[in-house]
Structure formats: C-alpha cells, structure tokens
Amino acid sequence: MMGGLLLLLSWNTGVEALLGGGETIVMDVHFGFLYAGELVLRSHGLDTLRGREAYKLSLFAKTAGSFGWVYSVADWIYSWMDTARRASLRYEKDLREGGKTYQRVIDYFSEDSFAVYTSPGKAPDTVRGVPPGALDPLAVFYYVRLVDSLDVGDTLFLPYHVDHRSSILPVRVVRRDTLVLQGVPMPTLVLKPEFEGKNILNTSGDMFVWITDDAWRIPVQITAKFFFGTLKGRLKRYSPEYEAP
C-alpha cells in the first residue's frame, strides 16, 4: 500500500537470504566535526534458540581517540529474531558508558504474552502483557528492511517491548534523499522510528535512519540527538558477509 498505513506485508526474499548468510555494516561516528568512534551492525547468520530458527543480530558501538575522554562507550547489543514469525526471541544488552556498566537479558515469549528479564545478581522478573510478535529495538531495524515495499508517506506500526514497557511503535518513511558516499550518489529512504523512551543508541532524542532505496535496504546513515549534541553515523564499509570482531 503506497502513501499510507502498511497492514498487509510482503517480504523481501533478497534481504532474508542476506541476513541468513551474514552481513557487516561499519559506520564512522561523528559529533559535529569531531570523530567519536565506530558503530558496527552485524548479522551473524542463522542460529537456533529454544528450538526456533532465528537471525542473530548485533550492534557494537565504541568511542575512540580524544572523544573517549569526554564520554567513553563500549556497548554490545544482541538480538535473536524468529525467521518464521519475525518476532524477537531474545535481547541482550552489555552497556559500558561513562564508567558505568549495565547488563540485561530479555527472553520474549510474546505468543504467550510475557517476557522474562534476567540481570547479574538479581532474580528473574516476569513481565506480562507483551504484545504478540513483539520486537526489541535492534530487531525493529531489520524487520523494516525485510518489508518488501516501502514508499514516502508509509507508516509501519510495530508491536514493541523493552525495559518493562510494551507499545505500538510507528516507523515512518518521511522522505527520499540522495547521499554522496565515497564520491558516489546513493538514493535513500529516510525513516523516523518514533521510540518512546530510549532508542537503540540509548538516547531519548529524535532518530533518523537512511536506508538504500533498492532491494537491499542497507542502513547507510543514522542520526540521533544526545544531551550534548547530535550523533551522525555514516557508512564506511559494507560486506555481505559476517565479519568477526
């Protein structure tokens, strides 16, 4: 459906094959003109969790150089997304930011409307009312890429659960844009996921994501507002294969 709500979805088999085989996206991150580090998105290929086939996905963010003295970051995030149901099975966070450490695992049982939270040194916590097909923050980006047809004005309303909260997350296709990457013009679609609370980069500010306007929907730029400025991640290198850290 063009220019409206996307309710009946068809799936992009090319992206399914790409994620199933593995993929690596490396972005340079800047705050203004200051180089801040790298952001790496990976599909590790197919995995099995609780007897279900899943895409194993990850995000790694690390500050570098002098910016690490301002605010140090070394974050790992993992997501397992069921290949059949396209719903989250597990979400793991290991965040090390500003000298603080935070670890949590969420196991999703959204077909039974609950999730189980575990953290080091704490008893498991069961949260009820999780919507069927719920996605975690990282799985949201890959789910959108798996949608076969997107156009400006379209909106996806996605079942969403993280940090003890459930909601319906709108992801809007706001415009087309052409980025020049390494001297090559790249047609893109610009997405605006309207997160309530913190997004995948652990900030509550507005986020925009540029994906290639082609069959592969590759993320090539991300911007997000932080309390001390705007982060911009831009594609440095892409590989249609999983590359180990």
pLDDT for 35 equals: 87
pTM of the predicted structure, to 2 decimals:
0.91
DSSP letter, residue 131: P
d(CA 70, CA 160): 33
d(CA 152, CA 175): 5
* Amino acid sitting at position 33: F
pLDDT for 74 equals: 79
pLDDT tens digits, 144-190: 999 988 999 999 999 999 999 999 999 999 999 999 998 999 999 99
Which string of DSSP letters, residue by residue, matches 77-122? EEEEEETTT--EEEEEEEEEETTEEEEEEEEEEGGGTEEEEE-TTS
Per-residue pLDDT of the chain (245 residues; tens, 9 = 90+): 334 544 456 889 999 999 999 999 999 999 888 888 999 999 999 999 999 999 999 999 988 865 655 667 778 999 999 999 999 999 999 988 767 888 999 999 999 999 999 999 999 999 999 999 999 999 999 999 999 889 999 999 999 999 999 999 999 999 999 999 989 999 999 999 998 766 666 666 689 999 999 999 999 999 988 766 788 999 999 999 999 98
In DSSP terms, 73 is beta-bridged to 97
pLDDT for 3 equals: 45
Helix, strand or coil, per DSSP, at residue 167: strand
pLDDT for 6 equals: 47
Q: Which helix (H) or strand (E) holds 82?
A: strand 74-82
- Structural domain boundaries in the chain: 13-238
pLDDT for 159 equals: 96
